[in-house]
């Protein structure tokens, strides 16, 4: 392992004014997205959609530091035969790959899940590195509800995250460590704060035990936020203040950067929250975005599977990427949302 090189990649992933495009939806997830815009999900349509994003020259070169790919996508070629991963590299962004294999029910813990995919991961990482991937992603899912999360769910998921991260660094790949506390319930922001604090503390404890070099990773956490069904929705300022306080309590300064997941927030909510956090300032790590839906919902709708809508889809993607790039520097304003290029 060359830590200096890992650190260089990790810092590039959180370059000020840029963020990470999470284009790693599984075939099942992207089918749901395509169903919403009445587009059949086929290997070809998925390729065409992602090619549209990766050929968005302004967005990719100015506002995107890296792209998380799904296994199908990393091996695909564009219509002209160019590997999609090459389009990403040519834009100056770093290719990455989702390596977890989804979730399974956690025995003895009703309603809780554990992420799987550690078997033969070392072999897969070697192939992904040869293909050009320089970072990877593994998502652990922690739900909040009556009697959950349990200590068991937090422990097994943190352990798996750390095992994955150690394997990545051994393969000279930067791990994105993603412990996601879901925002689907009726819990308030303080409950989210408490659970996330516990999850982050356990995750970093496991990373330490398994000798993961913090300078060679990127953290992808949820924000401290109200559950979607909560009667009282916390304000932008409260989300920002409590999330920053939470991170300061849990995340060592050695971590180069934090790239937030959007977790089901609307486009503008995710942007506003990131912007407010960066306006607080005085943070030991860089704060940016690693958004999926919050970057892609608008371009998907604008494109709608039609070749004649490619330019419209790219404009929508560029706009959302630019908004979040501004937010990663604390320079976003609500009025800018209407100024689509």
Just list the catalytic residues.
178, 220
CB 155 within 8 A of CB 142: no
Tell me how far apart the alpha carbons of residues 152 and 174 are, in angstroms, rounded to a whole number.
Answer: 27
> How far does Cα 280 stand from its chain's mean position?
22
The DSSP element (H or E) to which 90 belongs, if any, is helix 84-91
Give, rounded to a whole angstrom, the gap between the first and last alpha carbons of the chain: 43
Burial class (CB in 10 A: 0-12, 13-18, 19+), 126: middle
CB 192 within 8 A of CB 226: yes
Cα dihedral 15/72/30/290 (nearest 10) = -10
CA-wise closest residue to 311 among 53, 86, 50: 53
């Amino acid at each position: 392992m060359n830590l200096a090189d890992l650190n260089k990649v990790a810092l590039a992933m959180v370059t000020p004014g840029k963020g990470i495009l999470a284009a790693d939806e599984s075939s099942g997830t992207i089918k749901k997205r395509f169903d919403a815009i009445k587009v059949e999900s086929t290997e070809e349509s998925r390729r065409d959609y992602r090619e549209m994003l990766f050929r968005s020259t302004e967005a990719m070169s100015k506002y995107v530091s890296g792209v998380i790919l799904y296994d199908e996508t990393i091996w695909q070629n564009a219509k002209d035969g160019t590997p999609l991963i090459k389009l990403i590299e040519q834009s100056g962004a770093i290719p990455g790959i989702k390596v977890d294999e989804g979730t399974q029910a956690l025995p003895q813990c009703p309603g809780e899940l554990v992420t799987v995919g550690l078997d033969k991961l070392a072999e897969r990482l070697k192939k992904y590195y040869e293909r050009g991937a320089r970072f990877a992603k593994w998502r652990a899912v922690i739900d909040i509800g009556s009697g959950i999360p349990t200590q068991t769910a937090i422990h097994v998921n943190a352990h798996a995250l750390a095992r994955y991260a150690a394997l990545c660094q051994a393969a000279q790949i930067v791990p994105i460590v993603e412990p996601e506390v879901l925002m689907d319930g009726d819990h308030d922001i303080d409950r989210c704060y408490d659970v996330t604090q516990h999850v982050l503390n356990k995750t970093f404890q496991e990373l330490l035990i398994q000798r993961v070099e913090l300078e060679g990773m990127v953290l992808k956490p949820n924000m401290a936020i109200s559950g979607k069904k909560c009667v009282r929705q916390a304000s932008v300022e409260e989300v920002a203040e409590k999330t920053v306080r939470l991170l300061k309590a849990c995340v060592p300064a050695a971590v180069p950067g934090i790239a937030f997941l959007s977790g089901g927030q609307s486009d503008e909510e995710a942007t506003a929250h990131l912007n407010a956090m960066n306006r607080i300032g005085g943070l030991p790590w860089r704060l940016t975005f690693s958004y999926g839906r919050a970057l892609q919902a608008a371009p998907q709708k604008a494109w709608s599977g039609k070749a004649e809508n490619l330019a419209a889809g790219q404009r929508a993607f560029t706009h959302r990427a630019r908004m979040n790039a501004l937010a990663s520097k604390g320079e976003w304003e609500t009025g800018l949302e209407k100024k689509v290029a």
